[in-house]
Amino acid sequence: MSVDGSHTLTEAVEAYAAELAPAVGDVVRRAASVVPAFAERVLQAGLTVDDLAAGDLTALPILTKDDVLAQQQADPPFGGLLAPGAGVRRIFQSPGPIYEPELDETDPWRWASALAAAGIGSGDVVLNCFGYHLSPAGAMFEEGCRAVGAVVVPGGIGNQDLQARAIADLGVTAYVGLPSYLKALIDRFDELGLPVDRWRLRKALVTAEPLPDSLRALLQERVPTVLMSYGTAEVGLIGYETAPGSGLLPGPGLHVEVCDLATGAPVSDGEGQVVVTLQRLDYPLIRFGTGDLSAWMTGADGSARLAGVLGRVGEAVKVKGMFLHPRQAASVMSGVGGVAAWRFVIDRVNHKDELACEVVLDDPVNAGESGGDAERVLEQVRSSVRSGLRFAANVRRVEALPEGDFGRIVDARTWD
Protein backbone atom coordinates (compact mmCIF):
# COMPACT_ATOMS: atom_id res chain seq x y z
CA MET A 1 0.00 0.00 0.00
CA SER A 2 1.34 3.45 -0.90
CA VAL A 3 1.67 6.22 1.67
CA ASP A 4 -1.31 8.14 0.23
CA GLY A 5 -3.59 5.11 0.43
CA SER A 6 -4.21 4.90 -3.36
CA HIS A 7 -3.62 1.16 -3.39
CA THR A 8 -6.34 0.72 -0.76
CA LEU A 9 -8.75 2.66 -2.97
CA THR A 10 -7.88 0.53 -6.00
CA GLU A 11 -8.42 -2.61 -3.99
CA ALA A 12 -11.80 -1.36 -2.75
CA VAL A 13 -12.97 -0.56 -6.30
CA GLU A 14 -11.72 -3.89 -7.64
CA ALA A 15 -13.40 -5.79 -4.79
CA TYR A 16 -16.68 -3.97 -5.49
CA ALA A 17 -16.52 -4.88 -9.20
CA ALA A 18 -15.53 -8.49 -8.52
CA GLU A 19 -18.42 -8.99 -6.11
CA LEU A 20 -20.94 -7.85 -8.73
CA ALA A 21 -19.32 -9.49 -11.77
CA PRO A 22 -21.43 -12.71 -11.65
CA ALA A 23 -24.69 -10.74 -11.48
CA VAL A 24 -23.55 -8.38 -14.27
CA GLY A 25 -22.60 -11.33 -16.49
CA ASP A 26 -25.94 -12.97 -15.82
CA VAL A 27 -27.97 -9.88 -16.73
CA VAL A 28 -25.97 -9.47 -19.96
CA ARG A 29 -26.66 -13.06 -21.00
CA ARG A 30 -30.35 -12.89 -20.20
CA ALA A 31 -30.91 -9.38 -21.59
CA ALA A 32 -29.40 -10.37 -24.93
CA SER A 33 -31.97 -13.14 -25.22
CA VAL A 34 -35.06 -11.01 -24.47
CA VAL A 35 -34.21 -7.44 -25.58
CA PRO A 36 -33.41 -7.32 -29.31
CA ALA A 37 -32.01 -3.77 -29.14
CA PHE A 38 -29.36 -4.88 -26.65
CA ALA A 39 -28.47 -7.95 -28.70
CA GLU A 40 -28.03 -5.69 -31.73
CA ARG A 41 -25.85 -3.31 -29.71
CA VAL A 42 -23.52 -6.15 -28.75
CA LEU A 43 -23.36 -7.27 -32.40
CA GLN A 44 -22.66 -3.73 -33.67
CA ALA A 45 -19.74 -3.53 -31.22
CA GLY A 46 -18.21 -6.60 -32.83
CA LEU A 47 -18.71 -8.63 -29.68
CA THR A 48 -20.56 -11.72 -28.57
CA VAL A 49 -22.45 -12.28 -25.35
CA ASP A 50 -19.71 -14.73 -24.33
CA ASP A 51 -17.20 -11.86 -24.50
CA LEU A 52 -19.15 -10.09 -21.74
CA ALA A 53 -20.46 -13.03 -19.74
CA ALA A 54 -17.69 -12.84 -17.13
CA GLY A 55 -19.00 -9.46 -16.04
CA ASP A 56 -16.22 -7.33 -17.57
CA LEU A 57 -18.06 -4.93 -19.88
CA THR A 58 -15.08 -2.71 -20.73
CA ALA A 59 -15.17 -3.65 -24.44
CA LEU A 60 -18.81 -2.57 -24.77
CA PRO A 61 -19.14 1.11 -25.81
CA ILE A 62 -20.97 3.35 -23.35
CA LEU A 63 -24.65 3.97 -24.08
CA THR A 64 -25.21 7.74 -23.96
CA LYS A 65 -28.39 9.70 -23.37
CA ASP A 66 -28.18 10.84 -26.99
CA ASP A 67 -28.06 7.17 -28.03
CA VAL A 68 -31.22 6.45 -26.03
CA LEU A 69 -32.94 9.49 -27.50
CA ALA A 70 -32.02 8.45 -31.05
CA GLN A 71 -33.26 4.89 -30.45
CA GLN A 72 -36.55 6.15 -29.02
CA GLN A 73 -37.09 8.49 -31.94
CA ALA A 74 -36.35 5.69 -34.43
CA ASP A 75 -38.44 3.09 -32.59
CA PRO A 76 -40.92 4.79 -30.22
CA PRO A 77 -41.64 4.80 -27.41
CA PHE A 78 -38.70 3.02 -25.74
CA GLY A 79 -36.25 2.35 -28.57
CA GLY A 80 -36.60 -1.42 -28.33
CA LEU A 81 -35.02 -1.42 -24.86
CA LEU A 82 -38.16 -2.63 -23.09
CA ALA A 83 -38.56 -6.39 -22.96
CA PRO A 84 -41.70 -7.72 -24.68
CA GLY A 85 -44.50 -8.22 -22.17
CA ALA A 86 -42.87 -6.08 -19.48
CA GLY A 87 -45.35 -4.57 -17.05
CA VAL A 88 -45.38 -0.75 -17.10
CA ARG A 89 -47.39 1.30 -14.60
CA ARG A 90 -46.55 4.85 -15.65
CA ILE A 91 -44.51 6.64 -18.31
CA PHE A 92 -42.50 9.78 -17.59
CA GLN A 93 -40.73 12.34 -19.74
CA SER A 94 -37.33 13.92 -19.20
CA PRO A 95 -35.64 16.63 -21.26
CA GLY A 96 -34.88 15.45 -24.78
CA PRO A 97 -37.58 14.24 -24.58
CA ILE A 98 -36.58 10.82 -23.23
CA TYR A 99 -39.39 8.58 -22.00
CA GLU A 100 -38.86 6.43 -18.91
CA PRO A 101 -41.13 3.53 -18.01
CA GLU A 102 -42.04 2.84 -14.39
CA LEU A 103 -41.94 -0.93 -14.10
CA ASP A 104 -44.75 -2.72 -12.30
CA GLU A 105 -42.90 -3.77 -9.15
CA THR A 106 -42.25 -2.62 -5.60
CA ASP A 107 -39.87 0.36 -5.37
CA PRO A 108 -38.76 0.07 -9.03
CA TRP A 109 -36.14 2.82 -8.64
CA ARG A 110 -34.67 1.24 -5.43
CA TRP A 111 -34.72 4.30 -3.14
CA ALA A 112 -35.70 2.33 -0.02
CA SER A 113 -32.10 1.72 1.10
CA ALA A 114 -31.24 5.44 0.92
CA LEU A 115 -34.38 6.38 2.85
CA ALA A 116 -33.60 3.77 5.50
CA ALA A 117 -30.06 5.14 5.85
CA ALA A 118 -31.62 8.51 6.76
CA GLY A 119 -33.77 6.77 9.38
CA ILE A 120 -36.99 7.14 7.39
CA GLY A 121 -39.42 4.27 7.81
CA SER A 122 -42.64 3.06 9.38
CA GLY A 123 -44.22 5.76 11.52
CA ASP A 124 -42.80 8.64 9.52
CA VAL A 125 -44.88 11.19 7.64
CA VAL A 126 -42.78 12.31 4.67
CA LEU A 127 -43.25 15.55 2.75
CA ASN A 128 -42.24 14.69 -0.83
CA CYS A 129 -41.19 17.91 -2.56
CA PHE A 130 -40.22 16.50 -5.93
CA GLY A 131 -42.31 17.15 -9.04
CA TYR A 132 -45.12 14.81 -10.02
CA HIS A 133 -45.87 16.17 -13.52
CA LEU A 134 -44.10 14.30 -16.36
CA SER A 135 -40.85 14.15 -14.35
CA PRO A 136 -40.39 10.81 -12.53
CA ALA A 137 -38.79 12.19 -9.36
CA GLY A 138 -41.98 12.56 -7.32
CA ALA A 139 -43.13 9.02 -8.11
CA MET A 140 -39.63 7.65 -7.49
CA PHE A 141 -39.57 8.86 -3.92
CA GLU A 142 -43.22 8.07 -3.26
CA GLU A 143 -42.61 4.43 -4.23
CA GLY A 144 -39.50 4.31 -2.03
CA CYS A 145 -41.32 5.83 0.94
CA ARG A 146 -44.16 3.34 0.58
CA ALA A 147 -41.63 0.51 0.45
CA VAL A 148 -40.23 1.50 3.86
CA GLY A 149 -43.72 1.92 5.34
CA ALA A 150 -43.86 5.72 5.52
CA VAL A 151 -46.91 7.92 4.91
CA VAL A 152 -46.41 10.36 2.01
CA VAL A 153 -47.62 13.94 1.65
CA PRO A 154 -47.31 14.63 -2.12
CA GLY A 155 -46.18 18.24 -1.90
CA GLY A 156 -44.33 18.63 -5.18
CA ILE A 157 -42.82 22.06 -5.77
CA GLY A 158 -45.68 24.42 -5.13
CA ASN A 159 -47.30 26.69 -2.60
CA GLN A 160 -44.82 27.03 0.24
CA ASP A 161 -47.44 28.54 2.57
CA LEU A 162 -49.61 25.44 2.27
CA GLN A 163 -46.64 23.12 2.63
CA ALA A 164 -45.36 24.90 5.74
CA ARG A 165 -48.83 24.67 7.32
CA ALA A 166 -49.00 20.98 6.38
CA ILE A 167 -45.72 20.41 8.24
CA ALA A 168 -47.33 21.86 11.36
CA ASP A 169 -50.81 20.35 10.95
CA LEU A 170 -49.87 16.83 9.82
CA GLY A 171 -46.92 16.20 12.10
CA VAL A 172 -44.50 15.82 9.18
CA THR A 173 -41.37 14.07 10.44
CA ALA A 174 -39.30 13.68 7.28
CA TYR A 175 -38.56 15.39 3.97
CA VAL A 176 -37.35 14.39 0.51
CA GLY A 177 -36.49 17.02 -2.09
CA LEU A 178 -33.91 19.66 -2.97
CA PRO A 179 -31.79 20.90 -0.06
CA SER A 180 -32.45 24.51 -1.11
CA TYR A 181 -36.21 23.90 -1.04
CA LEU A 182 -36.00 22.53 2.51
CA LYS A 183 -34.29 25.76 3.56
CA ALA A 184 -37.06 27.76 1.86
CA LEU A 185 -39.70 25.78 3.78
CA ILE A 186 -37.92 26.35 7.10
CA ASP A 187 -37.80 30.08 6.38
CA ARG A 188 -41.47 30.14 5.34
CA PHE A 189 -42.54 28.22 8.46
CA ASP A 190 -40.90 30.90 10.59
CA GLU A 191 -42.21 33.81 8.49
CA LEU A 192 -45.77 32.53 8.95
CA GLY A 193 -45.28 32.50 12.71
CA LEU A 194 -46.20 28.84 13.03
CA PRO A 195 -45.56 27.30 16.46
CA VAL A 196 -42.01 25.99 16.78
CA ASP A 197 -43.25 23.13 18.98
CA ARG A 198 -45.21 21.85 15.95
CA TRP A 199 -42.05 21.54 13.88
CA ARG A 200 -41.42 17.78 14.14
CA LEU A 201 -39.38 17.38 10.96
CA ARG A 202 -36.16 15.62 12.02
CA LYS A 203 -34.96 13.67 8.95
CA ALA A 204 -34.21 14.62 5.35
CA LEU A 205 -32.90 12.81 2.29
CA VAL A 206 -31.90 15.37 -0.33
CA THR A 207 -30.64 15.14 -3.89
CA ALA A 208 -30.54 16.75 -7.36
CA GLU A 209 -28.25 19.66 -6.42
CA PRO A 210 -25.05 20.08 -4.38
CA LEU A 211 -25.17 20.17 -0.58
CA PRO A 212 -22.30 22.40 0.56
CA ASP A 213 -21.23 22.14 4.19
CA SER A 214 -22.55 25.63 4.89
CA LEU A 215 -26.07 24.70 3.74
CA ARG A 216 -26.03 21.37 5.56
CA ALA A 217 -25.07 23.18 8.77
CA LEU A 218 -27.98 25.61 8.36
CA LEU A 219 -30.44 22.80 7.73
CA GLN A 220 -29.20 20.75 10.69
CA GLU A 221 -30.13 23.56 13.07
CA ARG A 222 -33.73 22.43 12.51
CA VAL A 223 -33.38 18.99 10.88
CA PRO A 224 -30.75 16.94 12.73
CA THR A 225 -30.37 14.24 10.04
CA VAL A 226 -29.68 15.55 6.52
CA LEU A 227 -28.16 13.02 4.13
CA MET A 228 -27.25 13.36 0.48
CA SER A 229 -28.20 10.92 -2.29
CA TYR A 230 -27.69 10.70 -6.04
CA GLY A 231 -29.74 9.28 -8.87
CA THR A 232 -31.02 9.98 -12.36
CA ALA A 233 -34.40 9.85 -14.10
CA GLU A 234 -33.36 6.87 -16.22
CA VAL A 235 -31.66 4.84 -13.50
CA GLY A 236 -33.17 5.79 -10.15
CA LEU A 237 -30.91 5.55 -7.10
CA ILE A 238 -27.17 5.38 -7.82
CA GLY A 239 -25.58 6.19 -4.46
CA TYR A 240 -26.32 7.57 -0.98
CA GLU A 241 -24.65 8.77 2.19
CA THR A 242 -24.78 6.65 5.31
CA ALA A 243 -23.45 9.55 7.40
CA PRO A 244 -22.72 13.21 6.59
CA GLY A 245 -19.67 13.43 4.33
CA SER A 246 -19.29 9.65 4.12
CA GLY A 247 -19.28 9.51 0.32
CA LEU A 248 -22.02 7.88 -1.73
CA LEU A 249 -22.37 4.15 -1.21
CA PRO A 250 -23.47 2.52 -4.51
CA GLY A 251 -27.10 1.48 -4.30
CA PRO A 252 -28.48 -2.04 -4.65
CA GLY A 253 -29.42 -3.61 -7.96
CA LEU A 254 -26.81 -1.92 -10.10
CA HIS A 255 -23.10 -1.83 -10.90
CA VAL A 256 -21.39 1.58 -10.93
CA GLU A 257 -18.23 2.45 -12.84
CA VAL A 258 -16.23 5.67 -13.08
CA CYS A 259 -14.91 5.73 -16.64
CA ASP A 260 -12.15 7.61 -18.42
CA LEU A 261 -13.64 10.28 -20.68
CA ALA A 262 -11.33 9.48 -23.59
CA THR A 263 -11.29 5.67 -23.57
CA GLY A 264 -14.44 4.70 -21.68
CA ALA A 265 -12.37 2.31 -19.56
CA PRO A 266 -13.14 2.04 -15.83
CA VAL A 267 -10.73 3.88 -13.53
CA SER A 268 -10.21 3.73 -9.79
CA ASP A 269 -8.20 6.94 -9.48
CA GLY A 270 -9.23 10.38 -10.70
CA GLU A 271 -12.38 11.82 -12.20
CA GLY A 272 -14.50 10.20 -14.88
CA GLN A 273 -18.04 9.70 -16.07
CA VAL A 274 -20.46 7.73 -13.89
CA VAL A 275 -21.51 4.69 -15.94
CA VAL A 276 -24.22 2.35 -14.66
CA THR A 277 -25.41 -1.18 -15.40
CA LEU A 278 -28.82 -2.08 -13.97
CA GLN A 279 -29.40 -5.64 -12.87
CA ARG A 280 -32.88 -5.95 -14.32
CA LEU A 281 -34.28 -7.59 -17.44
CA ASP A 282 -37.52 -5.75 -18.24
CA TYR A 283 -35.69 -2.52 -19.11
CA PRO A 284 -31.95 -3.18 -18.93
CA LEU A 285 -29.64 -0.19 -19.13
CA ILE A 286 -26.18 -1.70 -19.59
CA ARG A 287 -23.11 0.56 -19.46
CA PHE A 288 -25.35 3.61 -19.50
CA GLY A 289 -23.46 6.92 -19.29
CA THR A 290 -25.17 9.34 -16.93
CA GLY A 291 -23.18 12.35 -18.14
CA ASP A 292 -22.19 13.09 -14.53
CA LEU A 293 -18.59 13.33 -13.36
CA SER A 294 -17.41 11.72 -10.14
CA ALA A 295 -14.46 9.89 -8.60
CA TRP A 296 -14.00 6.99 -6.23
CA MET A 297 -13.14 7.43 -2.58
CA THR A 298 -12.82 5.04 0.33
CA GLY A 299 -15.47 5.08 3.05
CA ALA A 300 -14.67 4.80 6.73
CA ASP A 301 -15.54 1.10 6.49
CA GLY A 302 -13.14 0.57 3.57
CA SER A 303 -15.90 0.38 0.98
CA ALA A 304 -15.69 2.02 -2.45
CA ARG A 305 -17.87 5.12 -2.59
CA LEU A 306 -18.52 7.95 -5.02
CA ALA A 307 -17.24 11.41 -4.11
CA GLY A 308 -20.47 13.14 -5.08
CA VAL A 309 -21.28 14.69 -8.45
CA LEU A 310 -18.31 16.79 -9.52
CA GLY A 311 -19.66 18.21 -12.77
CA ARG A 312 -21.10 17.28 -16.16
CA VAL A 313 -19.53 15.63 -19.18
CA GLY A 314 -21.54 17.61 -21.75
CA GLU A 315 -23.06 21.05 -21.96
CA ALA A 316 -26.21 20.35 -19.93
CA VAL A 317 -26.46 22.15 -16.59
CA LYS A 318 -28.61 21.15 -13.65
CA VAL A 319 -30.82 23.97 -12.35
CA LYS A 320 -33.24 23.51 -9.45
CA GLY A 321 -32.75 19.76 -9.80
CA MET A 322 -33.57 19.64 -13.54
CA PHE A 323 -31.32 19.68 -16.60
CA LEU A 324 -31.13 22.67 -18.92
CA HIS A 325 -29.44 21.90 -22.25
CA PRO A 326 -28.29 24.54 -24.75
CA ARG A 327 -29.90 22.57 -27.59
CA GLN A 328 -33.30 22.70 -25.89
CA ALA A 329 -32.87 26.37 -25.00
CA ALA A 330 -32.00 27.18 -28.61
CA SER A 331 -35.06 25.32 -29.87
CA VAL A 332 -37.36 27.26 -27.54
CA MET A 333 -35.79 30.64 -28.23
CA SER A 334 -35.87 30.11 -32.01
CA GLY A 335 -39.65 30.27 -31.83
CA VAL A 336 -39.71 33.75 -30.30
CA GLY A 337 -39.79 36.65 -32.77
CA GLY A 338 -38.18 39.98 -32.03
CA VAL A 339 -35.10 38.58 -30.23
CA ALA A 340 -31.71 39.35 -31.77
CA ALA A 341 -29.56 37.57 -29.15
CA TRP A 342 -30.00 35.75 -25.85
CA ARG A 343 -28.25 33.86 -23.08
CA PHE A 344 -29.26 32.14 -19.84
CA VAL A 345 -27.45 32.94 -16.59
CA ILE A 346 -27.66 30.72 -13.51
CA ASP A 347 -26.75 32.20 -10.14
CA ARG A 348 -26.99 31.04 -6.53
CA VAL A 349 -28.54 33.41 -3.96
CA ASN A 350 -29.14 32.35 -0.35
CA HIS A 351 -28.57 28.71 -1.25
CA LYS A 352 -31.19 28.87 -4.01
CA ASP A 353 -30.77 28.65 -7.80
CA GLU A 354 -31.92 31.66 -9.79
CA LEU A 355 -32.31 31.53 -13.57
CA ALA A 356 -32.26 34.63 -15.76
CA CYS A 357 -32.74 34.96 -19.50
CA GLU A 358 -31.04 38.02 -20.93
CA VAL A 359 -32.29 39.13 -24.35
CA VAL A 360 -31.22 41.72 -26.90
CA LEU A 361 -34.20 42.85 -28.94
CA ASP A 362 -34.30 43.27 -32.71
CA ASP A 363 -33.80 46.81 -33.99
CA PRO A 364 -37.45 47.25 -35.10
CA VAL A 365 -38.64 46.34 -31.60
CA ASN A 366 -36.07 48.62 -30.00
CA ALA A 367 -37.28 51.43 -32.20
CA GLY A 368 -40.89 51.14 -30.99
CA GLU A 369 -42.01 54.38 -29.38
CA SER A 370 -44.53 53.02 -26.87
CA GLY A 371 -42.46 50.19 -25.45
CA GLY A 372 -45.44 47.88 -25.87
CA ASP A 373 -43.72 45.82 -28.55
CA ALA A 374 -40.71 45.24 -26.29
CA GLU A 375 -42.85 44.12 -23.35
CA ARG A 376 -44.82 41.79 -25.64
CA VAL A 377 -41.59 40.11 -26.76
CA LEU A 378 -40.32 39.78 -23.17
CA GLU A 379 -43.62 38.21 -22.10
CA GLN A 380 -43.44 35.78 -25.00
CA VAL A 381 -39.94 34.78 -23.87
CA ARG A 382 -41.23 34.18 -20.32
CA SER A 383 -44.10 32.07 -21.60
CA SER A 384 -41.95 30.07 -24.02
CA VAL A 385 -39.30 29.31 -21.39
CA ARG A 386 -41.95 28.30 -18.87
CA SER A 387 -43.81 25.98 -21.27
CA GLY A 388 -40.90 24.71 -23.36
CA LEU A 389 -38.21 24.28 -20.70
CA ARG A 390 -40.37 23.97 -17.57
CA PHE A 391 -38.43 26.73 -15.82
CA ALA A 392 -39.53 30.09 -14.47
CA ALA A 393 -36.92 32.63 -15.54
CA ASN A 394 -36.32 36.26 -14.74
CA VAL A 395 -36.40 37.67 -18.29
CA ARG A 396 -34.52 40.93 -18.63
CA ARG A 397 -33.73 43.19 -21.55
CA VAL A 398 -30.09 44.14 -22.10
CA GLU A 399 -28.44 46.33 -24.72
CA ALA A 400 -25.70 43.82 -25.55
CA LEU A 401 -24.24 40.49 -24.44
CA PRO A 402 -20.59 39.74 -23.63
CA GLU A 403 -18.68 38.60 -26.68
CA GLY A 404 -19.11 34.90 -27.31
CA ASP A 405 -22.10 34.50 -24.97
CA PHE A 406 -24.86 34.43 -27.59
CA GLY A 407 -26.93 31.26 -27.17
CA ARG A 408 -24.96 30.10 -24.13
CA ILE A 409 -25.90 28.91 -20.66
CA VAL A 410 -23.61 30.69 -18.20
CA ASP A 411 -23.22 29.07 -14.78
CA ALA A 412 -22.20 31.79 -12.32
CA ARG A 413 -22.88 29.73 -9.18
CA THR A 414 -20.41 29.09 -6.38
CA TRP A 415 -20.93 26.38 -3.78
CA ASP A 416 -19.16 27.77 -0.71
* Alpha carbon 404 to its chain's center: 29
Is residue 211 in a domain?
A: yes
> What is the pLDDT, as a whole number, of residue 373?
82
Q: Pick from 228, 261, 292: which residue ends a domain?
A: 228
Model confidence over 259-283: pLDDT tens digits? 998 899 999 998 899 999 999 989 9
Is residue 104 in a domain?
A: no
> What is the pLDDT, as a whole number, of residue 391?
84
pTM of the model: 0.80
> What is the pLDDT, as a whole number, of residue 12?
95
Distance CA 150, CA 123 (A): 6
Q: Pick from 294, 312, 330: which residue ends a domain?
A: 312
Model confidence over 281-325: pLDDT tens digits? 899 899 999 989 999 999 999 999 999 988 777 667 778 777 787
Is residue 238 in a domain?
A: no
- Residue 45 in this model has a pLDDT that exceeds 60: yes
> What is the pLDDT, as a whole number, of residue 365?
60
Is residue 61 in a domain?
A: yes
Top pLDDT among 147 and 135 is at 147
> What is the pLDDT, as a whole number, of residue 7?
60
pLDDT category of residue 1 using cuts at 50, 70 and 90: very low
Q: What percent of the chain has pLDDT over 90?
A: 67
63 plus 165 within the same structural domain: no
> What is the pLDDT, as a whole number, of residue 407?
80
CATH of the domain at 346: 3.30.300.30
The range of the structural domain enclosing residue 286 comes to: 6-93+253-312
Model confidence over 373-402: pLDDT tens digits? 888 999 999 999 988 888 888 999 988 888
Mean per-residue pLDDT, 160-177: 97
Strand partners, 247: none
- Total of domains in the chain: 3
